[in-house]
Structure 1
Amino acid sequence: MRSMKKFQSGATLLEVMLVIVIGAAILYMSIQQYLTYRRDADALQVQANVDTIFQAMSSYYRMNCYGTTDGSYQMVAGTLNQAISPPNPLPISISTDLIDNGFLTTPMPRNPIVKPTGAGTNGYVAQFNRFDPPQDRQTCMAGTNATTPLPPNCTDPRGVGKIITWKAQVAVQLNNPTPTEAKLYLNLLAGDCLSTMSGSTVVPCSTSGNTGTFVVWEKLPSSGNAKFVSDYWVTMPTVSQFTQMYTTAPILNLTDGSSLPYQYYLCGN
């Protein structure tokens, strides 16, 4: 009888221990699932923040790739106009250049993936990178059967200008990652490369070596236009064409006897 009681007590204790182990396993899996969900949600927020900054930079580009013309037809060059020799890369202050000028409404919300006290604004760094050297454009004024812009048999090539192309770049500084974690976040965030800080800008992907604690994205400014929440976004190609025609001297003026100065082609992207 006593042995039976001991057996019954032991079996009950074993059952309790089994229930505890199963419960602990379920709790562990639930926590892991929550952490995975939380990480994915944080990554989606970072991507949304980056996309919002790109859209603001697209508007900034349209405002500053040429500049403005006042009532007396005097041109005031924008910050991206080659007439004022802007630095390359050109740093953009998210708080001053984008928020204060109305291209963004509020700062980016904090995110555990991004270092809150990092470079730029809350760990987000914006800049424009110019393609160097600029594309040189020439036309042929004389030659036998010269039917292309600059054929091999051209006897009088004439330089008409350089095409200035800027690429928008946004980078986020990860929150103290290991090199392995940085690679994982690069893939999770669908970035273009990893990079490091250099002065007030982040090294572009072309020379970054794909190492560092910054995840970098690069886009042409026009790539953000189609994502504008506006009824007028479909007119952007027409606006771009008008801007190009308005700010660029016709080819005949560049190559006739008056010989207008060599020019820069702006606002093309």
Structure 2
Amino acid sequence: MGATYSLRRCTVDSRKVAVITGAGSGIGKAVAQALLADGYQVVLAGRRAALLEAVRAEAQQLHGGAHERVLCVPTDVCDPEAVRDLFDQAVAHFGRVDLLFNNAGRGNPPGSFIDWTAEQWRDVVDVNLNGMFYCLQQAFRVMRDQKPMGGRIINNGSISAHAPRPNSIAYTATKHAVMGLTKTAALDGRAYDIAVGQIDIGNAMTDLASRMAKGVPQANGELAAEPLIDAAIVGQSVLYMANLPLQANVLFHTVMATKMPFVGRG
């Protein structure tokens, strides 16, 4: 019979170290909570220090002593030197990096792209693509050089990587690019025991997606409310991917509100 594997909580002697970008709210916060509940040591990265500290305080309330397993590093992922410092601090504090949840992102500028400025376009590309690359690059460098070598990277894609919404050209274009980044990094990571995958999320309840419940444009031009799922469900999905042995990889994982208008015609 072949070997069997079980997904177990991290023990004190084998706690993994995770870096989460965009960790101060939404999906990043939900993933941080899931990983901390499972025993991970977690580096929280985001632009707003106060939000990171709030996540750390909440973790302490939910899991006594968890604050000792949390490092907050205010980071602008658009700045490659800031990203380098993030990973330097993670290694200095916890000794290694086993997981990167490459999550930081931003939504589309308002209105039609016909009226956007070049700066508005670049703002989305800088966060959603360039920032994701800078983080992946630094994670590769750390995971390649640490002992034992290797680790896992989970990029936050989107179902927009497969099908666009109206008036979403910047967000959708960057998420298509992230899909290419994920596939190529998964290939390049083999030499260093680095597993790279992507989670594509549909309608998780966050500040970014809350407007879905009030009505958003559909492909036929109508406005319609859409169902949402609790962001904690996404946290559990990332936890599952994170806890696989490195010889296994979920290349693409889609988690979505069951009745949202994604599959089918519309």
TM-score tier after normalising by the smaller chain length: under 0.3
TM-score (norm 2): 0.27
TM-score (norm 1): 0.26
